[in-house]
């Protein structure tokens, strides 16, 4: 890319954990990187870290003017800063320093997708604003994240050689993630978890939905843990063994693997399982909430994701939960025989899988609806490919989604023959798990919501006919007849003899 080795291929502004690791990842792949941060110690730490891996490709700069002077043209500048006002502050500093209209500023933060669209328009005469949504955390940034780029195709063509190299990679034969160590170059002839998503905002929207799925996937695993702990009275180590077994099959995923690892850790102070010492009050940064809100705005049912957000909100109500636990009678847990325990474990594996399918179906339905609203041409098979490695929701299960969409791009995931067969086979076990949870007073909101979502979609008739009648009764909101679907009617409920009134 760069014939003049005295200049850098790209700059990174913001050298926190993510920015520093992205800079090192870029340098590992033989690109020269200029780095800048208002904290000079962070700049020096990045340079020193690069030298530790035997290269001089990370170069410190001390001002925006010098940063621009250090780069080949068109300049490529990656922002690794928190979402929000700071993005605009840096863009203005770059404008003041002399950035040119063809230069590319790349936002890699968790920005709200509508903000990305607004910034693209705002700066269009001064610079090319582009976005590359990043998933994978600290480790992913260092050795291969999942990347979701969006913006102008012209800008993408200039930065693609860098980002497809630093992304997580998948073996094209086995479809398994390729493990790369810090300091190593990306393997040749692999499939990068990075491909162009579409116009401005689309990449950040896809990342937002990814995070909504992440919320739900985590919650589903937590509900399985809770049920095994409370209804089956299993220890953390016993549940870890079960999770390890599931991780060898169709539930193989990063989140399942780390959950098993977490359950094996002992608290260094008490010797008890560390998970039992951690306070049951979950935090959140907002992207799951954004996904749930978007589903409501678009009228797309995403109950598994929404319930996962509600579960975090419920966890924050600790003091009230403690009080109510003392005011209400406990539920008598039904002791399980060895045979019943084995049956529950097998059923829970099927229920977890089925709920996971519904969770992804909701996410992809959201993507399809927003794509229609925004006139985006999203490739759902390619999006599923991006999530097979590098990101938090990476899982072998995603290859099945790739194949489902590759065979018929625009179908609902629940229509894919593979998942129709899988969920038909899981139905009975799934229902039994919900019955067991309810009987034993164990809340499983996301697993239950997934089943309700599934049952709603497989129902040719829902009770919305009564709901429409209620709306017409108190508000004259009208309704349609099944035998005359084109015409709306109002019924005079107080004087039935007057009959129907076309509206």
Task: List residues with catalytic annotation.
Answer: 207, 214
Cβ-count burial of 41 within 10 angstroms (0-12 exposed, 13-18 middle, 19+ buried)?
A: exposed
d(CA 412, CA 414): 5
Q: Is the sign of the CA dihedral 431, 432, 438, 441 positive or negative? A: negative
| Terminal alpha carbon distance of the chain | 66
**Nearest-CA neighbor of 61 among 36, 41, 39, 42?**
36
SS (H, E, C) 38-78: CCHHHHHHHHHHHHHCCCCCEEECCCHHHHHHCECCCCEEE
**Nearest-CA neighbor of 202 among 84, 13, 393, 372?**
372
d(CA 155, CA 335): 62
Q: How far is CA 388 from CA 172, 190, 379, 404, in A?
A: 11, 13, 15, 14
What would the two tokens of residue 406 be?
A: 């590759």
d(CA 254, CA 248): 11
Q: State the alpha helices, DSSP H only, in 131-248.
A: 137-143, 153-166, 202-230, 236-246
Q: How far is CA 147 from CA 131, 150, 168, 316, in A?
A: 10, 10, 8, 32
Contact 125, 101 (CB under 8 A): yes
Exposure string over 371-385, b if 16+ CB within 10 A, otherwise e: beebebebbbbebbb
**Nearest-CA neighbor of 359 among 303, 288, 431?**
303
Q: Is the sign of the CA dihedral 404, 111, 18, 156 positive or negative? A: positive
Pairing mode of beta strands 146-150, 191-192: unpaired
d(CA 29, CA 34): 14
Contact 410, 268 (CB under 8 A): no
Q: How far is CA 326 from CA 268, 333, 334, in A?
A: 31, 17, 20
d(CA 291, CA 219): 15
Phi, psi of 366 (to 5 degrees): -60, -45
d(CA 52, CA 204): 34
């Amino acid at each position: 890319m760069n014939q003049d080795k005295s200049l850098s291929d790209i700059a990174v502004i913001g050298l926190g954990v993510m920015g520093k690791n992205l800079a090192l990842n870029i340098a590992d792949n033989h690109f020269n990187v200029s780095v800048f941060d208002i904290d000079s110690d962070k700049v020096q730490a990045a340079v020193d870290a690069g030298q530790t891996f035997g290269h001089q490709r990370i170069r410190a700069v001390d001002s925006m003017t010098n940063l621009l002077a250090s780069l080949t043209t068109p300049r490529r500048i990656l922002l690794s800063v928190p979402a929000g006002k700071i993005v605009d502050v840096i863009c203005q500093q770059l404008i003041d320093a002399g950035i040119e209209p063809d230069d590319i500023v790349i936002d890699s933060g968790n920005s709200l997708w509508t903000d990305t669209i607004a910034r693209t328009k705002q700066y269009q005469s001064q610079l090319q604003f582009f976005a590359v949504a990043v998933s994978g955390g600290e480790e992913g940034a260092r050795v291969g994240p999942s990347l979701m780029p969006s913006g102008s195709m012209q800008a993408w063509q200039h930065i693609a050689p860098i980002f497809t190299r630093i992304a997580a990679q998948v073996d094209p034969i086995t479809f398994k993630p390729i493990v790369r160590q810090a300091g190593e170059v990306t393997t040749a002839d692999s499939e990068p978890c990075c491909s162009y998503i579409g116009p401005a905002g689309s990449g950040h929207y896809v990342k937002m939905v990814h995070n909504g799925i992440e919320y739900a996937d985590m919650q589903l695993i937590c509900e399985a843990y809770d049920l095994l702990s409370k209804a089956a009275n299993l220890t953390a180590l016993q549940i870890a063994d079960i999770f390890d077994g599931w991780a060898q099959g169709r539930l193989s995923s990063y989140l399942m693997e780390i959950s098993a690892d977490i359950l094996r850790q002992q608290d260094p102070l008490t010797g008890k399982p560390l998970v039992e010492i951690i306070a049951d009050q979950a935090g959140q940064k907002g992207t799951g909430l954004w996904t749930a809100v978007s589903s409501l705005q678009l009228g797309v049912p995403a109950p598994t994701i929404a319930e996962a957000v509600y579960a975090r909100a419920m966890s924050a109500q600790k003091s009230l939960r403690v009080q109510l636990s003392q005011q209400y009678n406990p539920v008598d847990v039904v002791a399980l025989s060895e045979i019943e325990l084995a049956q529950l474990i097998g059923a829970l594996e099927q229920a977890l899988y089925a709920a996971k399918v519904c969770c992804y179906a909701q996410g992809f339905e959201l993507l399809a609806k927003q794509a229609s609203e925004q006139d985006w041409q999203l490739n759902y098979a390619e999006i599923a490919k991006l999530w097979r490695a590098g990101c938090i929701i990476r899982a072998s299960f995603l290859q099945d989604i790739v194949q489902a969409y590759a065979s018929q791009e625009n179908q609902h995931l629940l229509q894919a023959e593979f998942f129709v067969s899988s969920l038909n086979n899981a139905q009975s076990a799934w229902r039994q798990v919900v019955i067991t949870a309810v009987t034993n007073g164990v809340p499983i909101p996301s697993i239950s919501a997934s089943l309700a979502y599934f049952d709603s979609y497989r129902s040719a008739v829902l009770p919305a006919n009564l709901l429409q009648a209620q709306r017409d009764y108190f508000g004259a909101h009208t309704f349609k007849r099944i035998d005359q679907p084109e015409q709306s009617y109002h019924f005079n409920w107080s004087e039935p003899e007057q009959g129907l009134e076309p509206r």
